[in-house]
A and B are shown apart, each in its own frame.
Chain A
Amino acid sequence: MKKSWIAFLTMVFCVVFISPGWAAYKIGFVASITGPASWLGEPEKNTALMLREWINAASGIRGVPIEIVIEDSKGMEADAVLATKKLIERDNVLVVIGSSTTGESMAMVPICEQVETLMISMAAALSIVTPDDEMKRMEASKKPWLEVPKKQRYWIFKVAPSDASAVEKIYIYCQAKKIKRVAIITVSAGFGVEGRRQLKRLAPKYGIEIVADELYGPKDTDMTAQLTKIKASPAQAVINWSVGPTQVIVTKNWSDLGMRGKIPLIQSHGFGNKSNIKLAGGAAEGVITPLGRVLYAEKVDPKNPQKPVIMKYKTEYEKRFKSDVSTFGGHAYDAIMMVADALKAVGADKKGIRDYLETKIRNWPGTGGIYNMSPTDHTGFGADGFEMMEVVHGEWEFAK
């Protein structure tokens, strides 16, 4: 009697704990859901939850449900590393998606490379997908603004646009507007530092001269002094690179100093949140910024292959979570859907999924852009993922 009980319990355990292991495709998902980068991780997590339901409601992939194991990296590298190890060793996932920030992603890269597991980052930096020696070669070049990577990390991909792509989009716009001299004003932390480096690196490629290079701290409360200096410089436009309250303060100061109409303010893609417009009061009118199409899906040309994807994602997300859609949640969408497509084609084959991403993701419409992965490009798209938008009556309109 006792023995049969034990046998029964063992069977129950097998069914409860082991069966999802073989009856579902396991995807690891690391995001900064709490902590200082939670504004990135929160929409990413929401999107992962929503997609899991979508896919499983459509009876999974090849009839097999997917399981997305979500881990919180709290914006910290150490937690991202632990989460990744746990996902690979204990959960035995096929793919690791994550994390939200560049620092965390960089910390995860060596682990995934070592165990030869596909990693898809949702962060921006080019160095996530490009090996160190290749980055060094590009930086040491005589004309760094003309360099593109010739090789990529074998197992690592990313779906967020590089900062350089936003910079290129801005410079292309400046060229079209015959703007040759720009002033840059950047925050002296993370996002702003990388933006400033790219702004300076790429300026010569587009025949643009940086005539003023101003900085401010992430907690500064007033940038009037820096903008006054820019106002007195020969700049034809001013480019600001920051996230958080400072980008709103710059907008207010720019407006108060009467620079609207004289020296247009171009913000980075970090400005792409409706609440920034609201916080600035009327001051954001006329601000120009490169934005991913998911933020203004309704206005995108119906002929654009991205249109159905972003319309569906935006309406469903906003209906379900009662908050504005963001490009960050879109990164999670793109990463998961790419993996889903790969699973559909090759099944639970780690190497096969990687190869599928590199060779079969061609003209693939996602929320970030139209992806074209290749052995030399593990991001898949560039400046074409953005459109220049202008704030008109508190709404995004295509910049003329």
Chain B
Amino acid sequence: MSLFSEILQFVFTGLTIGSIYSMVGLGFNIIYNATTIINLAQGEFVMFGGLIMVFLTVVLKFPLFVGFPLTVIVVMAIGAVFERFAIHPLRNASLLTLIIVTIAASILFRGIAMFIWGKDPYSLPPFTPGSPVMIGGAVIMLQTFWVLGTTLAIVVLTTLFFGKTIVGKAMSACSFNPMAASLMGIHVRKMILISFALSAGLGAVAGIVITPMSLMDYDRGPMLAVKGFCAAVLGGLGVGYGVVLGGFIVGLLESLTAGLIHSGFKDAVALVILLFILCFKPSGIFGSEEVSKIKKF
């Protein structure tokens, strides 16, 4: 195996892991954009996505194209219920309190999942069966194309949503100044509800596409949340394309470090670079200093 194909393999691996981080990061970003809350239960939405999909397609034997949207809808409902029962009643609490509430929710979700599914990991069959593809000596699994394609579709859709639709624009308005937004006739509480449902749905999609590759179990959430959060902060929280690129950067760094330096350093390198960037540009690589100054967090 030549060095070129080795590096190519690391790059493909990095892109695959990176796109998962991107999707988790985007989930953070949507709620942050509407409320400036960092939803630390984001990883649990991913976990629910994977496990509910397993239940629907493996246990109840629903076909993929039925199970996929149904899972996303169920998880969106979980996100909406979470907002109604945990975030909404505390609308006058401080931001920090709300963030701590999301930590509590993540522990609760994990507990519920453990009761329902137990501690064993679950797997899904790949969406398209078949042997991996060889490109330049590197092996690419078919599921990788699904992951990359889904990420691309989600990036396009969210960009369109926030840039072109009234609801999307209204949601961004809420984050800058909820008071002003509500004076403009925007129903702020509704926007927050939508943002939780959307980001839960996004998490579910990420969970569904990665389960065939990396299995899913009840406590996978926190690790994904940490990595997704790194991606979001690195790229610049609040900036959609920045978060996505941040995810790919973290993923690529991890796999290149594991491959070319040593696998023991892989998590450390990504975090050191994150710290380094935050020292010099606290708003993230693609974040704008002015915008981050007006935000509370």
Contact = CB atoms under 8 A, between A and B. Distances in A.
B263 A225 contact: yes
Contact size range, A: 20 to 34
Interface string B234-259: 00000000000000000000111011
Contact of A225 (B119, B255, B264): B255
B215 to A, nearest CB: 5
B255 to A, nearest CB: 4
A225 B123 contact: no
Contact of B132 (A214, A216, A244, A258): A258
Contact of A275 (B6, B120, B139, B213): B120
Interface in B95-126: 119-123, 125
A224 B9 contact: yes
A221 B17 contact: yes
B214 interface: yes
Interface stretch (A20-28, A245-253, A360-368, A390-398): A245-253
A12 interface: no
Contact of A215 (B13, B141, B210, B263): B263
Interface string B199-218: 00000000000100111010
A188 B267 CA distance: 12
B259 A229 contact: yes
A225 B123 CA distance: 21
Given A219-B220, A221-B17, A256 B121 contact: no
Contact of A256 (B17, B125, B139): B139
Interface in A216-234: 216-217, 219, 221-222, 224-226, 228-229, 231-232
B258 A226 contact: yes
Given A222-B17, A245-B214, A215 B132 contact: no
B263 A256 contact: no
B183 to A, nearest CB: 45
Contacts of B266: 225
A257 interface: yes
A296 interface: no
A40 B210 CA distance: 28
Tell me what chain B mostly uses at the interface: helix, strand, loop, or mixed. helix
Interface in A370-396: none
Contact of B123 (A229, A232, A248, A256): A248
A214 B123 CA distance: 25
Contacts of A144: none
A162 B119 CA distance: 25
Nearest to B142: A256
Interface centre among A216, A229, A248, A279 (most CB of B within 10 A): A229
A258 B263 contact: no
A63 interface: no
B23 interface: no
A39 interface: yes
Contacts of B121: 244-245, 248, 279
B125 A188 contact: no
Nearest to A231: B1
24 contacts: A38-B119, A39-B119, A215-B264, A216-B263, A221-B213, A221-B214, A222-B255, A224-B16, A224-B139, A225-B9, A225-B255, A225-B256, A226-B263, A229-B258, A229-B259, A231-B1, A232-B6, A245-B121, A248-B215, A256-B139, A258-B139, A275-B120, A280-B123, A281-B123
Interface of B: 1, 6, 9-10, 12-14, 16-17, 20, 119-123, 125, 132, 139, 141, 210, 213-215, 217, 220, 222-223, 254-256, 258-259, 262-264, 266-267
